[in-house]
Structure 1
Amino acid sequence: MANSVIVIGLGRFGTSIAHTLFQLGYDVLGIDTDEKVVQDNLGHITYSVQADATNEDTLRELGARNFDAAVVAVGSDMQSSLMSSVLLSTIGVPLIIARAENELHGTTLEKIGVHKIIYPEQESGEELAHSLFNENVIEYMDLTLDYGISKIKVPDHLIGNTLKDIGADEGLYFTALGLQGGTTTDKGIAMIAIKRGKGMLLAPDQEEELQKGDILIVGAKDKQLEKFRLSASEN
């Protein structure tokens, strides 16, 4: 079953998160008080509703407690941001991420139980969407509409394995994951490099053994990257 996420506040930042998550295959409920904004998002996410996310009854009626995560992407309205975050915590949403406008806002959000604080000037909506359910994702950069590059920290359970062991073929594509297609960019997950300490192994050998602290730099279509990240994170 796909992970499900509530995104509260469908401004530029919230819309970027919501649309990217939906494109990656997640179930997304977008909430905003502006009817036009809600209408503009219909068809781009799973559900888009006009509602007041500072009302506990409303959040419960929308089934907030059944979602895996919530992103409070409200902008300058600090009171609404704090209220929504408190209610989501009270309802029992397991993972709450909230946008902060400044350090004081961020500190307050932490004190009321928000698990991760996002400062838009430091992390984009797309970057957050790509790392939301995977703490090993250090950075994401989009190259085209649906193709990007990710830096992924090698999880402990893969240390000691070779690239071949985790599915890389001789051309350094992770086709063993069943993600290959017909064109060059559709072959699978392209292994670009391994960052090791201060050095960089470009186009590493298939038999290269992964070490603690290694960072894989891989490129592929967004949905393929998401499958790879989830696969690499599984114990």
Structure 2
Amino acid sequence: MKKTIILLFILFSTFSYSQKLENGFVYLSDIDKSIQLELRYLSHHNFIGKPINGYYKSKIIVTKETAQALKNIQQILLKKELSLKIFDAYRPQQAVDHFVVWAKDLKDTLMKNEFYPDTPKNELFKKGYIATKSGHTRGSTVDLTIINLKTGKELNMGSPYDFFGEKSHTFYKNLKKEEKENRLFLRQIMIENGFKPYNYEWWHFTLKEEPFPKKYFNFPIK
């Protein structure tokens, strides 16, 4: 009897857990377990310096269509002994709201030296680094890079992820040859597989045929 109760509890917990996702969304690991991740907003290593509201588990959530497109890209990369590495995907509105509140607090510059050394914090809104709405909240935008599976290291893209400055612009002129080639390689493979780039952030791509182009979600990442 005790074993039966435990089994029922596990089944119920699993079922409840899966229901947290909105229709049309999936955990990327259920579609492709080989894609690597470093969910920065779950950690202290981000431009704010603390975990962001709405991030509770190291899980990548995206729309079904985005997951399949990423899987297709990953299969191409694996043949070259490379892999996608995702920093962020679906982002709940509560996280975006967290960014906005932080941006208005001009005294909080804990991570300035690493993420926005040359950009005054009071210009983050004007320059488009912080906004009240984000494509990520629609579930079909991803922030990512490529890693070398032999070394385990990210390809050199010329600037860190989430760096607020011109160095993050895809076609920034003062890049080394290798950095330019790596950015263009990432850009090309994403475009060829149904994504559109954002030229001010080399890591940022949105599925062209996103299923929720005007809807913003707020369920947490658990």
TM, length-normalised to structure 2? 0.26
Q: Greater relative contact order (Cα 8 A, min sep 6): structure 1 or 2?
A: 2
Q: Structure 1 or 2: larger strand share?
A: 1
